[in-house]
């Protein structure tokens, strides 16, 4: 709101930092989405970017080791080594949602 009142343009990356600050306050993904008037899928994308940029190093509140390993297993067993969400989602029979797959790919990209 303050930005709007002062007519300050949002800088690239500000949205990620705003999400990070709310997460550090202990809000859930759903609470962050609601408070920022965004969809949870957008917050998952922010978290993935924060993981990749190493601004968020503890992702254990958002994705489990089991989920990361499940995605890794699909990628390693896939002939195409796909990084696309839909084929991974389908290979996991929809048991892990798209947001979590995005987070797993972010974590796996660090290795």
Q: Is residue 12 part of a domain?
A: yes
Instruction: State the pLDDT at residue 2.
Output: 42
Domain count for the chain, please give it: 2
Q: Could you read off the pLDDT tens digit of each residue along the chain, which spans 111 residues? A: 444 444 445 555 688 999 999 999 999 999 999 999 999 999 999 999 999 999 999 999 999 999 999 999 999 887 656 678 999 999 999 999 999 999 999 999 997
Task: Indicate whether 42 and 14 sit together in one domain.
Answer: yes
Q: Which of 74, 63, 57, 73 is nearest to 29 (CA)?
A: 63
Enclosing domain of residue 71: 65-109
**CB distance 91 to 74 below 8 Å:** yes
Task: Indicate whether 9 and 40 sit together in one domain.
Answer: yes
């Amino acid at each position: 709101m303050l930005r709007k009142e002062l007519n300050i343009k949002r800088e690239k990356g500000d949205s990620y930092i705003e999400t990070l600050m709310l997460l550090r306050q202990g809000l859930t993904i759903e609470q962050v989405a609601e408070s920022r008037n965004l969809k949870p899928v957008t917050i998952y994308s922010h978290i993935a970017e924060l993981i990749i940029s190493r601004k968020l190093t503890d992702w254990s509140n958002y994705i489990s080791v089991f989920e990361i390993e499940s995605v890794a297993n699909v990628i390693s067993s896939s002939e195409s080594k796909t990084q696309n969400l839909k084929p991974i989602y389908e290979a996991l029979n929809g048991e892990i949602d798209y947001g979590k797959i995005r987070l797993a790919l972010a974590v796996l990209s660090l290795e």
